[in-house]
Amino acid sequence: MTTLRHDEFPWYKQRWPWFLMAGPAVVIVAGAVTAWLAVSSNDGLVADDYYKQGLAVNQRLQRDHQAGVLGLHADVMRSGLNVRLMLAASGELPMPEQLTLKLAHPTRAGMDQAVPMVSEGQGLYRGELTAALAGKWRVSIEDPAGQWRLHGDWHADSEQPLHLRAEAAH
């Protein structure tokens, strides 16, 4: 004959049901946190206007080509938040009164900076960063008219100045 077992405690006072339910409960909480992070944060890597950015590639290439025709080269030096820039051309080129130094972080668009560089004469420019730099950055120097551009990669932790040289026109 079979006898039914009577426990003194109901199931919710036992240890094993709670232990077995803990795994799925942790997965549900982790999934909810992951979904919240995905919805609330901007990853910065996906552009909303990717089509327009693709169309602008030819314009950027033309500006790079123009910098090569002018024979432009520059040296960028940093001391704390102060930035100095020395710009030179192979021919006679009137130097603009102001340039824009753009610093773009490879993965965090929120850290990007556009630093106005003011002329001190004879191709020397000075400006001030809005925040300290560390790591690798994409650097570009542009004239105010948008006719030419110099660009390159910079390790901001390096003590050496950044040398930018336009590629020769083909």
pLDDT at 20: 94
User: C-alpha distances in angstroms, 26 versus 13, 14, 29, 33, 46?
Assistant: 20, 19, 5, 11, 31
pLDDT at 19: 94
Q: Tell the residue number behind the tokens 């025709």, with chain if given.
A: 69
pLDDT at 5: 67
What tokens were used for 14?
Answer: 């036992």
Residue 18 has pLDDT above 80, yes or no: yes
**Structural domain boundaries in the chain:** 11-40, 72-165
Q: Which residue has the higher pLDDT, 108 or 2?
A: 108
pLDDT at 33: 96
Measured CA to CA, the distance from residue 170 to residue 167 in angstroms comes to 9
Domain boundaries 72-165, corresponding CATH code:
2.60.40
Digit-coded pLDDT (tens) for 44-97: 666 667 777 776 666 677 777 777 788 888 899 888 889 999 988 887 878 889
pLDDT at 128: 93
